[in-house]
Structure 1
Amino acid sequence: MMKKKSFIYDDLYRYIGNRSLKSLFRYTLFTPGFRYIYFLRNCQKKNWLFPLYFFLLRRYSIKYGIQIPYQTSIDRGFRIVHFGLIVIHPGAIIGKNFNIAQGCTVGSSEGKKRGTPIIGDNVCMQPNSVVVGNIKIGNNVLIAPNSFVNFDVPDDSIVINSQNKIIRRDNPTGKYIVYKL
């Protein structure tokens, strides 16, 4: 398994296209979404600084309206495009190169689809979209704004919520997933 430090630099790469220490300092100080990711990844290391990182993660969770517990399994290349009102269930499994925007929820549900989602690589959740239940979202999927997804989505698709419509496209996230890992 890769070290969590490299996860931080891979996440930084998704923001700016490089992995320099100067950029790390700049984005940690001035970019709220990346600042949250920085403390999230450091909490996941569980070293002797864990109490400090956990305190700062909770502080920024309240300040920015982001609820992503450090137990959540998120692979490399995580990017919060616009921060605010983001909720991800700790049981969700998320692949690499994942974009999430403001107002999005990745959560659990009860009933037939009881459980939490598994989200593939190169997935982009647009503003106010919701993904809930024991479902699988494939690779290279774009979830359009204001979509409610509680069904499986195949690879290379765009989900439009007008009537739970799925459109098959080659590389639908090409414009949205910049600086792929």
Structure 2
Amino acid sequence: MQSNHTSIQKDFYRESGNWLSPLQIWAKCINPNLHFIYILRKTQHYRKNSVLGMFWRLVLRHHQIKYGFQIYPETQIGEGFYLGHWGNVVINPKAKIGKNCNIAQGVSIAQANRGKNEGVSVIGDEVWIGPNAVLVGKISIGSKLLKK
């Protein structure tokens, strides 16, 4: 059965435990990590070369610098994404993250360009990555890994 809730609503549900209206979601954007997720999802919603896509990419870039998140719209992130704290999170745009995942502050998910672990990480559903964790290379975490 398909849900009528948007990705943004599902992301914010993880924080509040309630389904929120667009106005309630915007009110919660006073929190930097939720504000960044909102902007990231808006950017992911539009094609890269469209006028709105370019606008949201510019807004996202400003907030990447402001909040210390380096997460790109190309990164495949499942619904229910939650950034536990804001600041110093770096995720490679080729990484894949499943549904209902939590990422704490100081986390880096990076690409290895050579060696036996060449590639990027795949994070399954319902995974928590704790503070200052560093994942480099082709690492798979979680029992329900993404199929793509």
State the distance in 2 between where 1:20 and 1:85 align: 28
Aligned runs of 1:1-181 on 2, under 5 Å? 6-21=6-21, 22-28=23-29, 30-46=30-46, 48-109=51-112, 110-139=114-143
TM-score relative to the length of structure 2: 0.86
Equivalents in 1 of 2:31, 2:52: separation in Å?
Answer: 22
Question: Which stretch shifts more, 51-60 or 62-71?
Answer: 51-60
Q: How far apart are residue 19 of structure 1 and its match?
A: 2.1
CA RMSD between the two structures: 2.0
Q: How many pairs were matched up?
A: 138
Structure-1-length-normalised TM-score: 0.71
Q: Which runs of 5+ in 2 are unaligned?
A: none
> What are structure 1's unaligned runs of at least 5 residues?
141-181
CA distance in 1, matches of 2:64, 2:42: 14
**Is residue 82–residue 102 contact of structure 1 (8 Å, CA) maintained in 2?**
yes
How far has the Cα of 1:45 moved from its partner? Answer: 1.2
1:76 Cα offset (Å): 0.4
- Identical amino acids, percent of aligned pairs: 40
> For the pair shown, which has the larger CA radius of gyration, 1 or 2?
1
Which structure ranks higher in relative contact order (CA pairs < 8 Å, sequence separation ≥ 6)?
2
